[in-house]
Amino acid sequence: MARDDISRGEAERLRRLDEAARVTRTFEVIADKGALWVWGDEDEILFTEDARRRTLLPIWPHATVARLENEGDVDGEHAIRIPADVFLRDWLPQLREDDADIAVFPVEEHNATVLTLDEFRARMTAALRMN
């Protein structure tokens, strides 16, 4: 298990939390571990769309929950660790160019919440400051 990973049992427990609890836990874990997880392969990161056709980047607080959500979909895809500071500095400007929002901790295609990039930056900055 990677150093930022959790057991499958713990991941299943987190997946059963309600949306508000998943959001809270996501920001706590990212602030504590200094990283978040996305899904993709060596060439591309997974994006999704919601019912309103907004482009969304799904993020997870642990590799295990990302794997439980995506494993087996496409060969070669895996959880990718992104340091929080790199995400804020490098990824958010690119996501703005891509006109994408953030889907927090999706479970079975149900997002805990969808945040604009500004909302995500504010929540993440506050969480990092509190840690």
Q: What is the residue-level pLDDT of the chain in tens, covering all 131 positions?
A: 445 579 999 999 999 999 999 999 999 999 999 999 999 998 899 999 988 899 999 999 999 999 999 877 677 899 999 999 999 999 999 999 999 999 999 999 899 999 999 999 999 999 999 87
> 62 and 8 in contact (C-beta within 8 Å)?
no
> 50 and 104 in contact (C-beta within 8 Å)?
no
Domains and CATH numbers, the chain: 8-130 (3.40.1350.90)
Question: Amino acid letter at 82?
Answer: I
Name the pTM for this structure.
Answer: 0.92
Query: Cβ-count burial of 83 within 10 angstroms (0-12 exposed, 13-18 middle, 19+ buried)?
Result: middle
Cβ count within 10 A of residue 65: 27
How high is the pLDDT of residue 98?
Answer: 93
> 49 and 93 in contact (C-beta within 8 Å)?
no
> 123 and 115 in contact (C-beta within 8 Å)?
yes
